[in-house]
Amino acid sequence: EPEVTQTPSHQVTQMGQEVILRCVPISNHLYFYWYRQILGQKVEFLVSFYNNEISEKSEIFDDQFSVERPDGSNFTLKIRSTKLEDSAMYFCASIGQGDWGAVSEQYFGPGTRLTVT
């Protein structure tokens, strides 16, 4: 079964440092997403990416955040200057070219746990 992979599984960083979270979506997928989930809270949408550009972003996704698809396979989320409140699980997801009803095409990666100290 195809899968989305994410690295690292756990990242510990000091406040103010930059982090890059990496995702490898499923190869023939076209829509990519980043979500975050603070421990014990709901899954929150950060950004969607299609055709090499951001298609939608939430109010959480401020100037400290950026996304890239540098080489056609990796999809990265960069946080420029981390804050304590950025500590969360970050999930990447990718969706295939089918209709939204094509449920078999929606996949989440296992997540990166980011801890900011």
Partner 1 sequence: RKEVEQDPGPFNVPEGATVAFNCTYSNSASQSFFWYRQDCRKEPKLLMSVYSSGNEDGRFTAQLNRASQYISLLIRDSKLSDSATYLCVVILGRMRFGAGTRLTVKP
Contacting residues toward partner 1, per CB under 8 A: 33, 41-45, 48, 56, 89, 91, 93, 100-101, 103, 106, 108-111, 113
Residue 35 vs 86, nearer CB to partner 1: 35
Residue 42 vs 71, nearer CB to partner 1: 42
Residue 57 CB burial class (10 angstroms; 0-12, 13-18, ≥19): middle
Closest distance to partner 1 from the beta carbon of 16 (Å): 26
The distance of Cα 26 from the centroid of its chain, to the nearest Å, equals 14
Token output for 75: 């999809």
Residue 45 vs 69, nearer CB to partner 1: 45
Closest distance to partner 1 from the beta carbon of 94 (Å): 12
Closest distance to partner 1 from the beta carbon of 86 (Å): 17
The residues with which 32 forms a beta bridge, in sequence order, are 49, 94
CA distances from 107 to 1, 5, 17, 27, 40 (A): 11, 10, 30, 12, 22
Q: Which of 92, 83, 95 is nearest to 110 (CA)?
A: 92
Residue 71 vs 104, nearer CB to partner 1: 104
Closest distance to partner 1 from the beta carbon of 74 (Å): 18
